[in-house]
A and B are shown apart, each in its own frame.
Chain A
Amino acid sequence: MIRRVFSATIIAFLLVGAPLFPAYAASSPADHQPTTPIQHLIVLMQENHSFDNYFGTYPGADGLDLNTQMPVDPNNPAAGYVTPWHIGNASITDISHSASTFRDQYNNGKMDGFVAALNTRNQDGKLAMGYYDDADLPYYWNLADNYVLFDRFFSSAKDGSSPNHMYWVAGQSPVPPKDVELAQVLADVPTIFDELQAAGISWKFYVQNYDPTITYRNLGVVGNRASQVIWVPLLNFDRFIDDPILSSHIVDLSQYYIDLQNDNLPAVSYIVPSGASEHPPSSLMSGQRFVKSVLQELMRSSAWDSSAFLLSYDDWGGWYDHVVPPQIDDFGYGPRVPAILVSPYAKTGYIDNTELDFTSILKFIEQNWNIAPLAQRDANANNFLSALDFSQEPRLPTFLPLTRITPPVAKNDPSSLIYMGYGAAVGVFVLTIGVTNFRFQRDKKRKLREMLEE
């Protein structure tokens, strides 16, 4: 009897508990061969910009109407309006982007509270309507020109960094009950990395300036490095802190370059920045330099031919975005964020309108490596396969500059000029010879005739 109960318990655990603890589930690597030519997925999460803030004026994208009039007070039209303005080198600050800010900006789907939400939080509401263009974001716009720009990529949560990062790795962002620590709740939340580990698929979480001593357990004493715990959500999970096997997958970004050089890039790589996150008010150019270095090293590695690199932003950062985010559940979506896909199979200069969010990344991983969904969100999410064309030969990578590549200014085509000019020169020569020879032959004939007459 005891044996039967024990056996039943084991079976029940395997059936019910295994999905919660996939690291312990048995799986054959042969079951998880990539279903597409993509053998390496690299995702990099930057910080705090909306789609309109970065690509609102990008030609062909669902972007900003520069005549938009955002009311200073939605309830009082007489208070005036703010229209979108180019930020350029203007001074900005970290504007509010909490869940309550979103609620006010969203204003029940009217999307007219972007200025007022900041004003009520004692910030300059005009800031929300600022936008950048290709002069400020030359590298990203160059990338968009050459690869794929998504213009319906939403942040998963209508909130700030923490929940969005959680969706990024787990497909959900559990809210702990009162008096329960988040880590306790997360103990039962599987992440994509648990799944990958269980399936025997290689993965790493690369962190710029990684300090392994900083986890959720010592947030109070790490000062301004606390963002590491937000941007690396695994550092909120006890098992990813304490299990030496799992924790060994969270490494400094320098390891990424070493792995690329040693042809040892894992199947799935998550990358987060440290200082170069573009989190307002930090430098956009340093962020672009950072992304360029990460991407450029991938491009000249052996992994390139079978890779896909997705750049995205964790939340909208409080900036205006004109598209009403679909509300698929109580938590999201939040506003659109910029997202770019770079891959040898990426379509060229393509703007993808597929509705995506961070769980679309999980969806891709799950479909590509044959892994079960983690949660409802990723199970229902769209994939970004529409941005890839596997019928094309893998493209050679393109090193793009930090300066904007603009189409050459239309002017006289020197080729036509050269053909006309030099053709005319040869024509003059031929004419001169022709006339001279004609006269020569005529004289010759005349002399011959005279001689014959004599």
Chain B
Amino acid sequence: MSAVNNLNITERVYEPEKVKTKSIPAVTELVTSRLVMLVALGMGTFLRIWQINAMGYNTDEAVYSGQAAAIAHIAGLKDIFPIFRAHPLLFQSMLSLVYRIEFSDLAGRILSVLFGLATILVVYKIGQLLYGRLPGALAALLLALMPYHVIVTRQVLLDGPMTFFATLTLYMLARYGRFRQPGWLYAAGACMGLTVLTKETSIVLLGGIFVFLALAPEVHTRIRDLLLSVFFMLLVFAPYPISIILAGNSSTGHNYLVWQLFRRPNHPWTFYFEVVPPAVGILVLVVAVVGLYMLRREHYWREKLLVAWIVVPLVFFEIWPVKGFQYLLPIAPALALLAGRALGIWIQRASNKRFVSPFKTIFNHQATYWMMTGAVVFSLGFSSWQRIQPETSTEFLAGTGGVPGGREAGLWIESNVPISAKFMTIGPSMANIIQFYGERPAYGLAISPNPLHRNPSYDPIVNPDAQIRNSEIQYLVWDSFSANRSSFFSDKLMGYVNKYNGRVVHTESITIKDQAGNPIVKPVIIIYEVYP
């Protein structure tokens, strides 16, 4: 017995006696898990970068990149995008460093992909720490192929980096649970600070941590250590409020929070149940839940940690009126870990001759579980592959990808339209895209002049009719994505087009299939010049 193995035994001093997962020979497990990790990173990278820049930014990407460009003093954008808007700026400030070297939409997305790949590695480390190499590698593979994580980390969104820091927090907690050194709890607090510093909604994960610590008395957490951990979190988070106050924008975040608290729901309560399971993978959810049930006798603080990490945000965002596709992304690594755990343990158990399956037949063979794993992996990979194909729809769900024609329309504006020309769009989404690529100010007609009914990050058009009449707004942009969301404002905008002699100066179209399956070209963005 080597000293290292002896050491491993000492590290496992807090493990429950009955957990016996080491059935595969260590060398085989090492090779297998490394192969799985190789596939995970290879496939994960491929799915995240394949045709990554086929379409331009969507509205959220445009905003975050615009903020980063403003921090990096990119000419043409620094005066259009305010630095301080709704969210903290950790990711944007990192992106700004990239932009100082290479300013392009591709560079922004690559940074996001790097965060995604780093998350896969952290998941592996957590799985390895909690359940061994193979479950860790399988969990990493599931996350690498998971459409939910693939789609979001292909975009310049805060949720990908936030999920990375959240997963890193989870890793610190796992180390704390495993080694019971308070330092890891402090590190978890500091890491949680970075998570919140990336996107403030992740504060809800703090609830998950508290629930975990409350439900896991075996971890024996002292109040003093918990308070110190919270102190570290606040210390790391402090630059956000301090920088806002010092920069003289003290009301920015406050206004946004108030608006979020009192705005009307943007999706029905069934939203997450409809969009998240297919994105996470139905089989992943089934395996995770069945695994939790089947292996219930082995539940310890590890499962409490993962389940609390999932349930608390799920309940919170289900109750929270504002819903977004990517809001639940931080729970994806935990789901992958639970599924990877189940598959990994089953594979290990099947190789153990002492293990007797209740079914005694096919479930007693390792190959069965590998096939099961293969099925889950294939379903995820296939689904991701389908979802990363260039969009051919005239409708759009925020957070799911780029907007067809948006970049092209913006670049046309940047090259052909007078500097400082002002644009009116149906809603703020297209306005953001026009601003980023076109480098011209754009305002959404749908933004309410009533401050109680609008996102405080946006400026409304006060009396649009007068502004067009006085040539303060010279271009109007109709787009099918916004029109599908609000026919009222689409009609209103077209009313101005007709009233003020609108003339089409540019059109972006996509090819879609009609009901008979024939390809037809459909305009998705039309730019009008108005002549009052």
Contacts and interface: CB of A to CB of B under 8 A. Distances in A.
B187 A432 contact: yes
A421 interface: yes
A396 B419 contact: yes
A109 to B, nearest CB: 44
B381 interface: no
A27 interface: no
A412 B246 contact: yes
B529 A300 contact: yes
B226 interface: no
B235 interface: yes
Interface string A289-333: 100110011011000100000000000000000000000000000
Interface string A379-405: 000000000000000001111110000
Interface in A396-439: 396-401, 411-412, 414-415, 417-419, 421-422, 424-426, 428-429, 432-433, 435-436, 439
A425 B531 CA distance: 52
B418 A425 contact: no
Interface of A: 257, 261, 289, 292-293, 296-297, 299-300, 304, 396-401, 411-412, 414-415, 417-419, 421-422, 424-426, 428-429, 432-433, 435-436, 439-440, 443-444, 447-448, 451-452
Given A399-B422, A418-B93, A451-B7, A435 B247 contact: no
Contact of B236 (A296, A297, A429): A429
Given A415-B73, A419-B71, A421-B239, 14 more contacts: A296-B418, A300-B417, A412-B246, A414-B83, A415-B96, A417-B247, A418-B71, A419-B93, A425-B193, A425-B237, A432-B183, A440-B181, A443-B181, A451-B7
Contacts of B90: 422, 425-426
Nearest to B232: A432
A448 B3 contact: yes
Contacts of A435: 183
B7 A426 contact: no
9 contacts: A261-B503, A396-B415, A418-B89, A418-B239, A425-B90, A425-B197, A433-B187, A436-B184, A439-B181
Given A257-B531, A421-B242, A451-B3, A440 B179 contact: yes
Which of A261, A411, A418, A444 gathers most chain B CB within 10 Å? A418
Interface string B132-147: 0000000000000000
A360 to B, nearest CB: 27
Contacts of B419: 396-399
B71 A447 contact: no
A412 B247 contact: yes
Interface string B162-190: 00000000001000000101011011011
A428 B197 contact: no
A436 B187 contact: yes
The binding surface of chain B is classed by DSSP as helix
Contact of A415 (B7, B72, B239, B471): B72
Contact of A425 (B10, B72, B184, B238): B238
A399 B474 contact: yes
Contact of B239 (A424, A432, A436): A424
7 smallest beta-carbon distances between A and B, as pairs = A421-B239, A436-B183, A397-B418, A398-B419, A432-B190, A399-B420, A414-B247
A41 to B, nearest CB: 19
A443 B175 CA distance: 14
A429 B186 CA distance: 9
B6 interface: yes
Contacts of B179: 440
Interface residues of B, number: 52
Interface in B149-172: 172
B477 interface: no
A293 B530 CA distance: 13
Contacts of B191: 429, 433
Contacts of A399: 418-422, 474
Contacts of B232: 428, 432
B243 interface: yes
Contacts of A412: 246-247
A399 B240 CA distance: 36
A422 B89 contact: yes
B441 to A, nearest CB: 10
Contacts of A417: 243, 246-247
Interface string B463-487: 0000000111010000000000000
Contacts of B3: 448, 451-452
A424 B197 CA distance: 12
Contacts of B84: 414
Which of B3, B183, B186, B238 gathers most chain A CB within 10 Å? B183
Contact of B243 (A414, A426, A444, A452): A414
Contacts of A293: 471
Contacts of A444: 7
A421 B93 CA distance: 10
A401 B472 CA distance: 8
Nearest to A435: B183
A257 B194 CA distance: 57
B517 interface: no
Contacts of B172: 433
A300 B14 CA distance: 74
B25 interface: no
A34 B109 CA distance: 48
